[in-house]
Structure 1
Amino acid sequence: MRLGGKVGRDSLAGRLTENASEPGFEFKPDQPYAELWMGTHPTNPASLHSSPSTLLSKHLESHSELLGSGTEGQTEGHVPFLFKVLTCKQALPLQIHPNKELAKKLHEEDPEKYPDINHKPEIAVCLSPSFLGFASFRPYNQIISFLTKTPEIANLSGDIKNKIDQFAKNPTGDVLREVWEGFLRLSDDESVVKQYAERVLKEGVEAFKDFSGEGFSDREKENLLKAIKLSKEYYHGDGGLFSTLFFLNLVELKKDEGIYVGADGPHAWLEGEIVELMAISDNVLNVGFTPDEDKDDPSLVSKTVTCQSKTPTELKLISQIFSKSQKGQSKVYKVPFEEFSILKISNDDVLIPFDGPAIAIVSSGTWDISGEKAEEGSCWFVGAGTEVEFERERKEGGEDAQVWIAFYDADAEKDEVGEK
């Protein structure tokens, strides 16, 4: 649970938790629910439904064949990814996950704060009608528009303004890193941020009348306004508004659209519901939408990022019929690496066995999974080498029905799961 979740059954994570949790779990309709975790992560490990006192990791330690090729480089008994359903109604912390090189260095320097040496790329796919989130740096010309057409910039320090001038004249990743670090140093109670938010909310989309071209369509301006409204409601004055809005893409996903964020890609999820898939790692740097005492050193954070710009189109994932789908009713989201993948099943199908592990969750509808009834929230571990059959229960009204599967499969086509 996080403060950013929706309350009770308004939260998809909450509704799914009713069936995904251990026997005796008490669902509280007045409590916010933000995250449902699936996997063997020690912070919130899964147990067997048939034996709630048995952790999945312990079961897999004595049945390592169920992990197959997914055991490479992993702690014994652990699934090589963390699968989540996430519901948010306000901005979750602006975060960066270090790449492998920096993760190793941080672990050696402070193993308590950075407990492993893994990187943490992420996949997110939208489950709600729409989802908003900040991800990766905008094209440089868009960043320059924000930094040169925002009146409140004049109220910032001379040091930041000098760095902005340098970036406008020489827009490179190295210069941008210095500019962004200056903005990361703004506190969670900045008067200039409050002034900006109040002005924009008063003016509405007209506040962006001088912004044009790619990244500034009418719809994108409406989303900018929405992000500022959310910031004022939950984080009024937090410098994270400037270090996201001015620098990062504000990406809108529609239902079933996916996005990929690399290991050093800054991101902050704003509003909506997603399935999220990531490497098992606790390495994270928090830099915004969180109290000052919880923020990490900006100089360390700025060294983490490449400041490589991308467009929302470049971040979004393409889906296609999965080659291991015998009936063509499963779509896999193409990712740029082989560490883990995600697919969606929307109708009756049979999956050819993976050579690694998988975790499946029923996000909607009622299904028969290899002869057993599975309702909304049912969560399944699928061992390597296991063929699985999915049959959806038909109801009047054409009820939406989906199963989401996170998996590792070195045998899959490389244009589907990427190269390792």
Structure 2
Amino acid sequence: MVLKRISCAANNYAWGVPGSKSTVAQLAGEAVKDFAVDEGVPYAELWMSTHPKGPASFWEDKTALSEHIKNTDGSDLGKNVLEKFGKKLPFLLKVLSVNKALSIQAHPNKSLAEILHAKDPAHYPDDNHKPEMCVALTDFNGLCGFRPARETVGFLNSVPELAILLGEKAGQMIAAKDDPVEYPKALKSGFAALMNLPKELISAQVAKLVARINSTKPDDVEADLVLRLNSDFPGDVGIFVAYFLNYIKVAKGEAMFLKANLPHAYLSGDCVECMACSDNVVRAGLTPKFMDVDTLVDMLEYSPNEADSFKFKAESDDGQVKVFNPDIPDFSLEATSLKEAGKRALPGTGFIFPSLLQNYC
């Protein structure tokens, strides 16, 4: 196989890290042809893919990677990919630099993706699912999956603003907290009620919550998170969603896997993401973008779990290569760390991870 250098795509979103402080911008200097950093612009994502939103091309002749795959025999993809997906690159690789919270979101499974795409292709541009593997390049935090019942019920008892918003739904969740069958039902009912409340009611209770935190100055992660989220998204319903979802810390080199229908929101840090080739996102808070509350509420799995349960263990780790192999056909991710100068032969299992990332892994 002959290796060719590609030029990737750098995307600017409001939640990215400004200018040359962004890992994305630093990498784009070598990964995006004719790139020049603008210190006043937030750099959020570096895409390595054939997806039309951020297509890669060959460095020398600017031929699109998708066109190369289409117009050749596809042998570059390998036999397994050709048999399963045809002449298509089945995954999308990204680097993210997160400065502000991303939206409260989830990704649809394949069947729901097909329905959403057929109904609303403007907001759901792909008919594909989007499972994601996230490997931290720095200490990384986010919200992921529903908290254990004891934690959310604890907040219902200690955060009066949340209990007021949920009303009788709060009582149902508290009553069902020790019942593994009834609690997920009560959780869905309570979460749906919160997400569908009028904005003015949410905003009023956020103001009371923020005032109480500023007055009492509690020393806990959730209080700090409420203040931070309200600073970026004043009065948003996502501020209360933080009491439903796990706060998760992913150390450098650790990974988490985000399957379909799993609620999440990245908060800060740098990571590599590998996902099925799709840009489908169902959003319902902490964003100025299109939100689809009904779809999100209906699609989620209301299974309470511990935060660390969403971390993903490497299948193998020899000190230089970690193999992350989720139970999906679209991709497997290898993280290679070069501890010292020299050469290392990489197995011919797919596209090679850019060497310019080695200092971050």
Select the residue among 284, 287, 291 that pairs with 2:284.
287
Higher mean Cα deviation, 142-151 or 80-89?
142-151
SS at 1:179 equivalent: helix
Which residue among 42, 49, 73 is the counterpart of 2:52?
42
Letter in 2 for 1:7: P
Question: Does 2:145 correspond to 1:136?
Answer: yes
Query: Helix, strand or coil: the match of 1:196?
Result: helix
CA contact (8 A) 2:156 2:163 kept: no
Specify the SS of the correspondent of 2:224. helix
Tell me, yes or no, if the aligned pair for 2:128 and 2:278 is still in contact at 8 Å. Answer: yes
Q: 1:345 is matched by which residue type in structure 2?
A: T
Please, what TM-score do these two structures have when normalized by structure 2? 0.86
Match of 1:307 in 2: 302
What is the CA RMSD across the aligned residues, in angstroms?
A: 2.2
Q: Secondary structure at the match of 1:249?
A: strand
The one-letter amino acid paired with 1:226 is D
| Counterpart residue number, 2:213 | 200
Residue aligning to 1:107: 117
- 1:319, CA displacement in angstroms? 2.3
Change (3 A) 1:338 1:153: same
Q: State the 1:228 CA deviation.
A: 2.0
CA gap of 1:196–1:204, structure 2 versus 1, over 3 A, is same
- Partners of 1:116 and 1:320 lie apart in 2 by 30
Contact 1:121 1:262 (8 Å CA) reproduced: yes
C-alpha displacement at 1:50, in angstroms? 1.7
Corresponding residue pairs, total: 337
| Cα distance in 1, alignment partners of residues 140 and 215 from structure 2 | 25
Measure, in 2, the Cα distance between the counterparts of 1:10 and 1:30: 11
Aligned to 1:148: 157
Partner of 2:6: none
Task: Give the corresponding residue for 1:177.
Answer: 188
The 1:14/1:75 distance shift into structure 2, 3 A limit, reads farther
Task: After TM superposition, give the deviation of residue 201 of structure 1 in Å.
Answer: 3.9
Q: 1:312 to 1:87 in 2, by over 3 A?
A: same
* Distance (Å, rounded) in 1 between the aligned partners of 2:153 and 2:163: 14
Deviates more, 1:26-35 or 1:89-98: 26-35
1:56 to 23, 42, 65: 65
Greater share of strand:
1
Compared with structure 1, are the counterparts of its residues 364 and 116 closer, same or farther at alpha carbon in structure 2 (3 Å cutoff)?
A: closer
Name the CA distance, whole Å, in 1 between partners of 2:137 and 2:215.
32
| 1:341 equivalent in structure 2 | 332
- Residue 317 of structure 1 aligns to a residue whose secondary structure is coil
Residue-by-residue CA offset, 1:164-215 (whole Å, 9 max, x unaligned): 2122222422221121111212438712112213322443334xxxxxxxxx
SS where residue 90 of structure 1 aligns? coil
Q: Which residue of 1 aligns with 2:312?
A: 317
Q: Are the equivalent residues in 2 in contact too, given 1:135–1:265 (CA < 8 A)?
A: yes
Letter in 2 for 1:332: V
> CA shift at 1:2, angstroms?
0.5
Q: Which amino acid is 2:354 matched to?
A: I
Superposed CA offset, 1:17-75 (max 9, x none): 111102x22221232111111111111100001212x1011111123111122235547
Secondary structure of 1:167's partner?
A: helix
On the 8 A contact 2:137/2:360 being kept in 1, the answer is no
Alpha-carbon distance between aligned partners in 2 of 1:256 and 1:334, rounded to the nearest angstrom: 15
SS at match of 1:276: strand
State the shift of 1:295 in Å. 1.7
Q: Indicate the SS of the match to 2:308.
A: helix
Counterpart of 1:32, as a letter, is: P
2:163 and 2:170 in contact (8 A); partners too: no
Aligned pair partner of 2:275 in 270, 274, 278 = 278
Which structure 2 residue ranges, 5 or more long, are not aligned? 1-11, 178-182
Question: Contact between 1:11 and 1:33, CA under 8 Å: does it hold in 2?
Answer: yes
Structure 1, unpaired ranges of 5+:
207-220, 366-400, 404-420
